[in-house]
Structure 1
Amino acid sequence: MIPYVNPHSLKLGPIEPFGIFVALGIFLAARIVVKQSAKQGLDPNPIHDYAPWGVGVGVVVGHLVHLFFYHPEELSKSPFQILKVWDGLSSFGGLLGGIIAAIIYFRVRGVSFAKYADAFALGVAPGWAVARIGCFVAHDHPGIRTDFFLAVNFPAATYGGPRHDLGLYDAVALFAIAGVLFALRNSGKLQNRLLHMLALLYAPFRFFFDSLRATDLHYVDARYFGLTPAQYCCILLVAYGLWGLATKRASQPGSTPSSTASGSVKPAR
């Protein structure tokens, strides 16, 4: 069983450990996407230019999803709670914000996002995993009571004893998924469909993990007809993944280094 470490004891001045891991995850994801784009012969400049927009919109949307769907009771605290983007973030909301920013950015710049989709898949999975380590360190996703060997020995006075820690489970699953995606990339399989594969691989894990979320604590996620907001998102991820695998071709014009190098992708600068 994993011992419980108070996250406040790990603070570096005003900096919470959660924020450190989120920042590291974003940095890792961006670096991998840029590197993988270059390997495919794509211009990395659009990724450099998109990154701050993706992060900014992701944080804002992630906070709004947390506030309006996961914990709407927080709106009663203060009307300014909406502006406190640092106070509560939904990972799925952040992903949605990043997607919205990507759709708008790539369309405005006249760049095909589909050509960068595999690179995004390879970067998102490990980056998200690192950010989830921050959730584990902060212990902000306690699950139901258990004696499972990977359970965290939460304080009995506050949490009632050992519980699943879903941040840890999510991180492990995402690192494993990242390994599968890189293996598929190296084998040349599912070219241009890795983002859809990421959706299909992650959705079942997350749906199951959310079924383990605590319901007997003071601060728990809202449920709608018995499901969390993330579980509804998982259903959409499965639909997206199946649609992509069924309709996307294994090879598209402009997806190889030789064709992208010929100027089929518009540089952002």
Structure 2
Amino acid sequence: MEDAITPMDPVFLQLGPLTIHWYAVLILLGVGIGYVMANHEANKRGLPKDLFADLLLWALPISIISARLYYVIFRFEQFADDPIRVFFIWEGGIAIHGALIGAVMTAIVFAKKRGVSFWKIADVAAPSILIGQAIGRWGNFVNQEVYGGSVSREFLEGLFLPEWIINQMFIDGTYYHPTFLYESLWNIVGVAILLLLRRANLRQGELFLSYIIWYSVGRFFIEGVRLDYLLIGDTMIRTAQLLSVVLIVVALILWVYRRLAVKPPRYLEASSSGKNSTKKK
């Protein structure tokens, strides 16, 4: 019976020569929901009306390119014999850390040119980024990627997973850990925590740093289960785990430094004065 399990079709829609994959649809869905959340919060906090729409126009393509470049750099041998496949992102193979690097760099430049605090933008966007990541992981599910070591069917049933998820985790005759699901659920819990921290009225920048710490802690442990990890050169050091540790340390250092030396305003206080401070062109 198990040999007859058919994986989900990765194609969402076929219109003549145009093929739209579930992977792209789910990533765009995550981006769309994240944008609506961020834009709603930005309006409440007195930021310019079209700020996040304008930022998204730059950050989205740049983050997709940087996410793909990050993956290709660490998996170059996968594309060496057929370089054109570098552009086939619908097959999977984009790294969230690469996307974050591109998005943060874009936001820093964008904020400077708009005369708005980067930390204010980052705080507003933090829960949105995490919900986008949570939804985007389901694109990996459809592609049958981002899974962990082999497990039994009984193990998956013990997680109370629906049959359609269990069946999709049956790959080449073996069941695997649904690490895509572990990370998606971790991110959803993180969104709830960040929304609660908004009410706690942390210092400006600390909501974004909380996101960095939360995501990195989860990613460090989940990465240890995954089979499709990226390595640092010829070492056995997993890239995502090393980067997660670095990000946690840097985030904590920035948190302490900003509290002691910068003493930024609190999130709600900084937001309430945002209308006046962001009219500067």
If the length of structure 2 is used for normalisation, what is the TM-score?
0.81
Distance (Å, rounded) in 1 between the aligned partners of 2:196 and 2:186: 15
Question: For the structure 1 residues 9 and 89, does the alpha-carbon distance in structure 2 shift closer, same or farther, using more than 3 Å as the test?
Answer: closer
Deviations 1:18-50, CA, capped at 9 Å, x for gaps: 111100001111111111111112223221111
* The one of 95, 117, 122 aligned to 2:122: 117
Q: Does 1:171 align with 2:175?
A: no
Computed over aligned residues only, the root mean square deviation of the Cα atoms, in angstroms, reads: 2.5
- Shift of the alpha carbon at 1:12? 2.2
Q: Does 1:51 align with 2:64?
A: no
Deviations 1:169-227, CA, capped at 9 Å, x for gaps: 1100000000001011123345541110111111111011111012xxxxx43323323
- Gapped regions of structure 2 (runs ≥ 5): none
- Gapped regions of structure 1 (runs ≥ 5): 215-219
* The one of 64, 80, 83 aligned to 1:76: 80
Check whether the contact 1:60–1:85 (CA below 8 A) recurs between aligned residues. no
* The one of 213, 238, 243 aligned to 1:233: 243
Check whether the contact 1:136–1:166 (CA below 8 A) recurs between aligned residues. no
Instruction: Give the corresponding residue for 1:217.
Output: none
- Shift of the alpha carbon at 1:5? 6.1
Check whether the contact 1:43–1:267 (CA below 8 A) recurs between aligned residues. no
What does 1:124-139 align with in structure 2 at a 5 Å threshold? 124-139=129-144
Q: Does 1:7 align with 2:12?
A: no
Task: Give the letter aligned to residue 226 of structure 1.
Answer: M
Distance (Å, rounded) in 2 between the aligned partners of 1:241 and 1:170: 20
Q: Does 1:186 align with 2:190?
A: no
Partner secondary structure for residue 15 of structure 1: strand
Distance (Å, rounded) in 2 between the aligned partners of 1:117 and 1:106: 10
Distance (Å, rounded) in 2 between the aligned partners of 1:190 and 1:252: 6
Instruction: Give the corresponding residue for 1:155.
Output: 170
* The one of 242, 252, 255 aligned to 1:242: 252
Distance (Å, rounded) in 2 between the aligned partners of 1:129 and 1:231: 19
What does 1:28-107 align with in structure 2 at a 5 Å threshold? 28-69=33-74, 71-84=75-88, 86-87=90-91, 88-107=93-112
Question: For the structure 1 residues 183 and 162, does the alpha-carbon distance in structure 2 shift closer, same or farther, using more than 3 Å as the test?
Answer: same
Identity among equivalent pairs (%): 24
Q: How many residues align?
A: 256
